[in-house]
Copies of this chain bind each other. A is one copy, B any other.
Amino acid sequence: MSFKQDLFAQFARVGKALSNGNRLEMLEFLAQGERSVEQLSRVAGLTVANTSQHLQQLRHAGLVDCRKEGLKVYYRVSGDDVIVLLDALRVVAERHVAEVQQLVSTYLTVKDNLEPIPREELLERVRDGLVTVLDVRPPEEYAAGHVPGAVNVPPQELEHWLDELEEQGGIKAHEIVAYCRGPHCVLAFDAVARLREKGMSARRLEDGFPEWKTAGLPVETESVE
């Protein structure tokens, strides 16, 4: 029964694409929107040539598509089912791989206090003007799409933003919700930890922006440059 073997070999091709940490990192980055090869190489910390080769493997596995515009080639995930797959992978890894659990818990010493806020709940509160939403991703990602009303404060600008806030008398009574790329992007954790140090009421949004977008919730775009 060679049919069966062939079939599993095709599935394995997709699995193989998921078998490398750098590729997974790229995929999570691509889950947020399309990126050029050069952007991806910078995020993953790889040479451009190497990045290109990884991207071609992802393309071969059908996980990403690309589009050429002028000099640049923009890659993007080929469908929402890829995000579903990434989430399923994450769920299994979290639930079963002991090391992940340990890593997460050692990084987040006060994990329980950092309970994330559900997406729908945040949306309501934003509508009612009860929270300040913080997008801690880099400006270009923010520009490509963000939670409506969110303020873009990348990590390196957080201290500056806090100073400004304090000058203006502070908003300590106000709740702050931070989010970043996804459930395992540490930026939002860091920001929440810092805000709490300052005595502010801060929480993290469950998951991150790609999941927000996939859930069909409203997205605000702002063209940069």
Interface residues of A, Cβ cutoff 8 Å to B: 1, 3-25, 61-63, 78-79, 81-82, 84-85, 87-93, 95-100, 103, 107, 184-186
**A-B pairs with lowest CB-CB distance, top 5:** A62-B96, A15-B18, A8-B21, A16-B19, A19-B19
Shortest Cβ distance from residue A56 to the other chain B in the assembled complex, whole angstroms: 14
Among the listed B14, B23, B107, which residue makes an inter-chain contact with A92, where contact means beta carbons less than 8 Å apart?
B14
Contacts of A22 in B (CB 8 A): 8
A194, chain B: closest CB distance, angstroms = 16
Shortest CB distance A158–B (Å): 16
The distance in angstroms between the C-alpha atoms of A163 and B165, with both chains bound, is 84
Contact between chains at B91 and A84 (CB < 8 Å): yes
Chain B residues within an 8 Å CB radius of A98: 62
Counting every copy of the chain, the complex holds 2
Residues of A contacting B: mostly: helix
With contact pairs A62-B96, A91-B84, A92-B85 given, residues A19 and B10 touching in the complex (Cβ less than 8 Å): no
Q: Complex: how many Å from CA A107 to CA B6?
A: 12
Interface centre among A98, A100, A107 (most CB of B within 10 A): A100
Q: Which of B10, B88, B186 is close to A88, meaning CB atoms less than 8 Å apart? A: B88
Given A7-B100, A62-B97, A81-B95, 13 extra CB contacts under 8 A: A7-B103, A8-B21, A10-B100, A12-B21, A14-B96, A14-B97, A15-B16, A15-B19, A62-B93, A62-B96, A84-B91, A88-B88, A88-B89
